[in-house]
């Protein structure tokens, strides 16, 4: 069991070593590890080597493992009884374009003032180098203050997250036995607000589908063939319109069969978050919730599946007017899934529905655009409760359980390949401008992020 005295000793080490820690972060931020551009391949290797050297210096068995793309850094701490955690983050960054919109060199990190707060400005400051180092620096503090880590720690740090991450799943499959642990930890998410820490326990899955409906063998004159000829634009419009009922629900047969209702405890906690639905929609000049009736906006975003039309193309779309019946029309449609839903089942139900809506003389081509299951961590899990307690102790405010409307594919891979649940614990803020010019990370996020991981690691040792 980790005592309060021990935790305080490690936290003191964090505070006293903050400037050295920032120096290390700045060294890493100066490396231009842009994974999507082949011109920066050597910089990605440099970043992987830099991290490997740091972890080796902390006593980890670390190596930058080659892949067909950029390296994956894998490191293992000494074996010991108790909880074994696998920490994931990524060291690659987005391109910096347009460079003209940056106030300073994106790879020359600066500390600036913003709204009375000190911020670290650089590409990767928040996404994800700063977040990644909060964990590594917490491990450093534990080693410096006590000589050992409170739990067994392994790390898997990716170099292609910002460019699709296609080489990570094969790498995980090839090294599944080595990567086994009790829980995965990911630091690539936000706090609920500036004073409230959170753990994201729900990520929605995704099914992406494109349909191309074809009728005649060429575009037709709408005066010569109108009414008599099948119009793919009309067919696609009918298919799309039929996907939603008047109450906002999806009409696909069996769509909600595997969708569970929220627990009363979680509904109550979310209701207490102070989420302002009007402000949320008002920020994008909207005013009226449009999804399922009698569901809160947070419930719709985090805990309910969706069906959204992402694009429709057909006929003449240029300037002016052209009276044409197109030979083809298409639509791109995505389904966000919640825990329990099978992407293959939803894809099959959608395709069966489309086939049922096709009139004579029309055919359809389906193009698959990815599919992944949702992730949910059981709310009563012991490791989740311990991590929440550690965050609460650091921020002096009850840490909350949140969901995310988006999808983080690696979390699904952890479950599918390694059988691991994941705790998503991050210290970023919504205004960090990740992927944009002038990306920043609050100095408090960095400092207290390190302190938070110290407490979480200590709590997981209980």
Count of CB atoms situated within 10 Å of the CB of 113: 8
Res 377 pLDDT > 90? no
Which residues lie below 8 Å from residue 47, measured CB to CB, with a gap of 6+?
Answer: 28, 31, 33, 91, 92, 159
Given the DSSP bridges, would you call strands 117-121 and 152-158 parallel, antiparallel or unpaired?
A: unpaired
**268 domain residue, yes or no:** no
| Inside any domain, residue 316 | yes
Asked, for residue 282, whether it belongs to a domain, the answer is: no
Give the model's pLDDT for residue 376.
85
Given a contact cutoff of 8 angstroms between Cβ atoms, the answer to whether 323 and 339 are in contact is no
Give yes or no: residues 66 and 152 share one domain.
Answer: yes
213-263 pLDDT, tens digit per residue, is 999 999 999 999 999 999 999 999 999 999 999 999 999 999 999 999 988
Measured between alpha carbons, how far is 311 from 125 in angstroms, rounded to an integer?
33
The verdict on residue 177 lying in a domain is yes
Asked whether residue 312 is domain-assigned, the answer is yes
Query: Does residue 378 carry a pLDDT above 90?
Result: no
How far apart are the C-alpha atoms of 170 and 53, rounded to whole Å?
Answer: 25
Residue 275, φ and ψ in degrees, nearest 5:
-70, 130
Q: Does residue 98 have a cis bond before it (omega within 30 degrees)?
A: yes
Residue that finishes a domain, picked among 372, 393, 425: 372
Distance between CA 210 and CA 364 in Å, rounded? 10
∠ CA 396-398-400, rounded to 5°: 140
Model confidence at 266, pLDDT cuts 50, 70, 90, reads: confident
400 and 450 belong to one structural domain: yes
- At residue 458, φ and ψ (nearest 5 deg) are -65, -40
Same domain for 317 and 191?
no
* Nearest-angstrom CA–CA distance, 315 and 215: 12
> pTM for the full model?
0.85
User: 347 and 456 in one domain?
Assistant: no
Residue 92, pLDDT > 60, answer: yes
Same domain, 199 and 222: no
CATH code, domain carrying 99: 3.40.630.10
Same domain, 174 and 313: no
Say yes or no to pLDDT of 1 above 60.
no
Same domain, 382 and 442: yes
Write out the residue range of the structural domain in which residue 99 sits: 4-203+375-460
Are 10 and 134 contained in the same domain?
yes
pLDDT value of residue 200: 93
Spatial CB neighbours of 180, under 8 Å, sequence gap ≥ 6 = 84, 418
Q: What is the mean pLDDT of residues 37-46?
A: 98
Exposed/middle/buried for 202, CB within 10 Å: 0-12, 13-18, 19+? buried
Contact between 385 and 338 (Cβ < 8 Å): no
Share of residues in the chain with pLDDT > 70 (%): 100
User: Within 283-378, where are the H helices?
Assistant: 297-302, 343-356
Higher pLDDT, 377 or 208: 208
For 102-125, the pLDDT digits (tens) are: 999 999 999 999 999 999 999 999
End position of a domain, from candidates 346, 372, 398: 372
End-to-end CA distance of the chain: 5
Judging by beta carbons within 10 Å of its beta carbon (0-12, 13-18, 19+), is residue 55 exposed, middle or buried?
buried
The verdict on residue 197 lying in a domain is yes
Nearest-angstrom CA–CA distance, 425 and 88:
11
51 has a pLDDT exceeding 90: yes
Strands of 405-455, DSSP E? 422-424, 440-442
Shared domain for 396 and 408, answered yes or no, is: yes
Per the structure block, which two tokens stand in for 263? 């627990």
Q: How many domains does the chain have?
A: 2
**Percentages (nearest 5) of helix, strand, coil residues in the chain:** 35, 25, 40
Residue 250 structure tokens: 């999806």
Average pLDDT over the chain, rounded to an integer = 95
Using the 3D structure, point to which of 347, 372, 397 is the last residue of a domain: 372
The larger pLDDT score, comparing residue 407 to residue 443, is at 443
Whether the CA torsion 421, 423, 429, 434 is positive or negative: it is negative
Judgement on whether residues 238 and 367 belong to the same structural domain of the protein: yes
Q: Pairing relation of β-strands 61-65 and 324-325?
A: unpaired
Residue 72 in any domain: the answer is: yes
Task: State yes or no: pLDDT of 395 exceeds 60.
Answer: yes
Q: Is the pLDDT of residue 157 over 90?
A: yes
Judgement on whether residues 315 and 173 belong to the same structural domain of the protein: no
Residue 370 has pLDDT above 90, yes or no: no
Q: Do 129 and 238 belong together in one domain? A: no
* Percent of the chain surpassing pLDDT 90: 88
Angle value at C-alpha 211, between 210 and 214, nearest 5 degrees: 150
Average pLDDT value for residue range 331-340: 94
CB of 401 closer than 8 Å to CB of 302? no
Tell whether 390 is covered by a domain: yes
CATH number assigned to the domain comprising residue 357: 3.30.70.360
């Amino acid at each position: 069991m980790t005592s309060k005295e021990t935790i305080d000793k490690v936290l003191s080490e964090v505070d006293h070593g903050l400037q050295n820690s920032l120096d290390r972060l700045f060294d890493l931020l100066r490396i231009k590890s842009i994974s999507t551009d082949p011109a920066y391949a050597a910089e990605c290797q440099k970043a992987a080597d830099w991290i490997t050297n740091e972890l080796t210096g902390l006593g980890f068995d670390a190596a930058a493992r080659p892949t067909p793309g950029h390296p994956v850094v894998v490191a293992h701490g000494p074996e010991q009884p108790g909880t074994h955690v696998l920490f994931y983050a990524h060291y690659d960054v987005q391109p910096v374009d347009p460079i003209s919109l940056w106030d300073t060199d994106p790879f020359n990190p600066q500390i600036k003032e913003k709204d009375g707060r000190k911020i670290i400005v650089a590409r990767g400051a928040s996404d994800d180098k700063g977040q990644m180092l909060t964990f590594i620096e917490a491990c450093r503090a534990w080693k410096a203050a006590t000589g050992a880590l409170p739990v067994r720690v392994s790390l898997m740090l990716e170099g292609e997250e910002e460019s699709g991450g296609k080489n990570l799943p094969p790498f995980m499959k090839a090294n599944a036995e080595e990567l086994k642990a009790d829980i995965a930890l990911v630091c690539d998410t936000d706090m609920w607000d500036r004073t409230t820490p959170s753990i994201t326990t729900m990520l929605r899955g995704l099914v992406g589908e494109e349909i191309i409906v074809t009728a005649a063998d060429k575009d037709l004159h709408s005066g010569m063939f109108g009414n008599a000829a099948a119009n793919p634009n009309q067919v696609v419009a009918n298919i799309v319109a039929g996907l939603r009922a008047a109450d906002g629900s999806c009409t696909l047969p069996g769509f909600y069969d595997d969708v569970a209702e929220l627990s009363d405890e979680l509904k109550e906690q979310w209701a207490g978050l102070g989420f302002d639905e009007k402000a949320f929609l008002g920020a994008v000049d909207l005013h009226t919730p449009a999804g399922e009736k009698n569901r809160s906006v947070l419930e719709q975003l985090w805990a309910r599946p969706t069906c959204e039309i992402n694009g429709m193309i057909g006929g003449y779309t240029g300037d002016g007017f052209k009276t044409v019946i197109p030979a083809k029309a298409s639509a791109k449609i995505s389904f966000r899934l919640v825990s329990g839903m099978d992407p293959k089942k939803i894809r099959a139900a959608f395709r069966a529905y489309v086939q049922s809506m096709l009139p004579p003389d029309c055919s359809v081509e389906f193009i698959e655009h990815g599919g992944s299951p949702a992730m949910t961590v059981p709310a009563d899990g012991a490791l989740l409760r311990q991590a929440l307690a550690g965050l609460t102790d650091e921020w002096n405010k009850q840490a909350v359980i949140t969901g995310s409307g988006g999808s983080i594919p690696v979390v699904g891979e952890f479950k599918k390949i390694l059988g691991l649940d994941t705790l998503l614990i991050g210290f970023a803020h919504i205004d960090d401008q990740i992927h944009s010019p002038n990306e920043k990370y609050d100095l408090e996020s960095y400092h207290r992020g390190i302190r938070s991981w110290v407490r979480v690691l200590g709590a997981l040792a209980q």
